[in-house]
Amino acid sequence: MLLTAEFWVLVAFVVFLALAAKAGAFGAMTKGLDSRAKRVRHELDEAKRLREEAAAVLADYKRRRAEAEKEAEAIVASARAEAERAAAEGHQRLNEFVSRRTKAAESKIAQAEAQAEAQVRAAAADAAVKVSETILRERMQGDAAQNLIRSSLGEVRTRLRA
């Protein structure tokens, strides 16, 4: 058993471990592992802090987005109300314009009717005077009759034109 290779590998390994322990290799390894564990813990804490910060930034952006959407909705509602007001105002102006034009047209029509009526009356008066003059000339004779006819016809003309 002392001559087998496995035995001497075991003895060399134990000697190596004893020398490593005496030189402080185990302390250095544990110290290295501890420092690595601290560094990993620090990186995890930093990652957690960054994650929380990112979550806060995300929440802030979501809040801002919601505010922007509300503001956009308010702007759209305001624009809609303004458009409706402008449309109502335009409709009212159009109605007023149509009303004014209708009144002006009615006034012109009434004026034209009055003028036509006056022209018809004048024409009727002239026709009546001419007919009366013709009838009276045929029936009445002499200077006195002529004077009477002239004064009567003048009186008829003024009455019919008034």
Domain residue spans in the chain? 18-160
Q: Residue 56: its pLDDT value, please?
A: 94
pLDDT score at 83: 93
- What distance in Å separates the CA atoms of residue 146 and residue 132, rounded to the nearest whole number? 12
- Residue in this structure with the two tokens 């501890």, named with its chain if needed: 34
Q: Are the beta carbons of 153 and 133 closer than 8 angstroms?
A: yes
Dist. CA 114–CA 128, nearest whole Å: 20
* Core vs surface per residue 9-22: b (16+ CB within 10 A) or e: eeeeeeeeeeeeee
List the one residue out of 10, 29, 9 whose CA is nearest residue 20: 29
Specify the DSSP class assigned to residue 4. S
Residues of the chain with pLDDT under 50: none
pTM of the complete model: 0.42
Least Cα distance to 149 among 138, 131, 137 occurs for: 137
Q: Would you state the pLDDT for residue 84?
A: 93
